Chain A
């Protein structure tokens, strides 16, 4: 029972911390005390928190290395944009349209997650890393071939595999709108994302992920990570639980992608390339594998860092890399951990919880 209380305490602190941070930033934003650059980062930070927490479910909790998480974000982003743009007249209410767009984004990512996950998660070893790496690249190229428009007849979708077609080949009516113009990406997107929506998505993600890992399903996923053969011997269906973690993670990434896509007037698929996947992986590793609040803090700090290092101009990414290495060294230093353990008595328990 004590364990239940301890993990509940950690979870509660995470919820409260996120809520307090949101309220402060929201008050500052509405009061006009934030610079436009920070204000513009609030929604993307929420998106990347959701990305990091959901990737942690696969990498930290399920123990499978996924290198294509941005691919799911991409699927969700363009799925969400198509939904939001084409439903602009059907659903006039902006918040409702955003909810629908996020749901569509999540659903698209679920479908793709199944297609990628079902064959690969049956295998052992590093296959998932290789396949997700390829998937991230493929999805980017596929979206670069996509032509989508909307008019009174409904959606027009065309795959421009030859590279010779343009948006005009969709033969839209005069009143029709182009939504995705191949390599130019999504254009003329109505920005409907907002910081409160981002906060709600983060909280929803936390509730789903934290409650999941404290339930029998989460224990099964962690047991498979810790010892596959023993997990099978106590009757757990390995593929089912690995797939479950992977698909839930994909769904959350898809929703985050939709929110991200609807935060900008235009969006190209190359925004979600291999670098983005690695960036999210860095957040997860730095925050601690399996440590949800760690992922949140790492995301916020590392997302803000390049902005804060603007004064170094050309050497910005160099300093960023050095800071990363230093933080990695510091968090893996036993002496430093022991020192922290003396200062904060609960630190040791929290470490055991990771």
Chain B
């Protein structure tokens, strides 16, 4: 049923770098550009010669069999790992030598495959941590409870409630984040990432553990988030319904190497991809 939403997808055009981006994003600098990106763990080439360009408002998919290196790519993009080779450009700016926190300040926010919430804090507090950079009072005015503390906290709480309303989670605001159901924890992670005001949102298996109706709702919400915040979204996902339904450009990874790039139609009919997933036809 979800395949019938082509309206979310724009026309994809090829770049000289062999990547494709939406035609509407051609006029601006791509939000992300990876050039010959690679990392070795000891003798293992976990990711090698990874090239990808993502448009300013694109929803991009990163797929591949288990152990292909998809999460490693996310960890490279957010500098959890420092790349062994290659360059990552964010909005045209080189990210060499940046820390994970600085990458976030440059506009990249992410979620995690194994959920990483601040479990001992409330849902509201989790989002407020995401809004940390938006609040502008100093530690001293926080301790002295100056007017700027109250003003800034009130604005942040209102903003957090707005974010919670995206997933209709307002009533869970005071619940302990660790006590939420699995699906709600995944949604909260997305909201916490959104709170940092990113221009590129990385989602690592956002639909993992969700039932089909939750997944369908998530798909709508990812598109809604992209349209509301005018950001690019890159997602790793095993649910092909979701990937083929909303991703404009798709990149397929196998054994740390890009084996195919293109639109959903290109990927579905690509024999190399089919071989990677199903094995060689005899």
Q: Which residue of B lies closest to A228 (CB)?
A: B116
Are B100 and A219 touching (Cβ within 8 A)? no
* Range of interface residues on A (Cβ < 8 Å): 20 to 34
Binds B, one of A79-87, A132-140, A235-243, A305-313: A235-243
B199 contacts the other chain (Cβ, under 8 Å)? no
Distance in angstroms between the alpha carbons of A318 and B163 in the assembled complex: 56
Are A3 and B174 touching (Cβ within 8 A)? yes
Q: Which residues of A contact B112 (CB under 8 A)?
A: 229-230, 233
B186 contacts the other chain (Cβ, under 8 Å)? no
A208 contacts the other chain (Cβ, under 8 Å)? yes
Q: Which residue of B lies closest to A290 (CB)?
A: B120
Please tell me the number of chain B residues within 8 Å of chain A, measured between CB atoms.
45
Q: Which residues of A contact B100 (CB under 8 A)?
A: 229, 232-233
Query: Which of B139, B153, B174 sits near A2, CB closer than 8 Å?
Result: B174
Q: Total number of A-B contacts with CB less than 8 angstroms?
A: 104
B165 to chain A, nearest CB (A): 15
Q: Which residue of A lies closest to B173 (CB)?
A: A3
A234 contacts the other chain (Cβ, under 8 Å)? yes
Query: Which of A3, A208, A230, A237 sits near B118, CB closer than 8 Å?
Result: A230
Q: Which residues of B contact A236 (CB under 8 A)?
A: 101, 129, 132
A interface majority secondary structure = helix
Interface string of B133-166 (1 = CB under 8 A from A): 1010101001111000100110011000000000
Distance in angstroms between the alpha carbons of A2 and B196 in the assembled complex: 24
Distance in angstroms between the alpha carbons of A231 and B99 in the assembled complex: 12
Interface string of A69-92 (1 = CB under 8 A from B): 000000000000000000000000
Query: Which of A207, A216, A226 sits near B128, CB closer than 8 Å?
Result: A216
Distance in angstroms between the alpha carbons of A3 and B161 in the assembled complex: 13
Residues of B within 8 A of A (CB): 78, 80, 99-102, 104-105, 109-110, 112, 116-122, 124-126, 128-130, 132-133, 135, 137, 139, 142-145, 149, 152-153, 156-157, 173-174, 176, 192-193, 195-196
Residues of A within 8 A of B (CB): 1-3, 207-208, 211-212, 215-220, 222-223, 225-227, 229-238, 244, 352
What are 22 A-to-B residue pairs whose CB atoms are below 8 Å? A2-B174, A212-B139, A215-B137, A215-B139, A216-B128, A216-B135, A218-B142, A219-B125, A220-B129, A220-B132, A222-B125, A223-B126, A223-B129, A225-B120, A227-B117, A227-B119, A229-B112, A230-B117, A233-B78, A234-B109, A234-B130, A235-B132
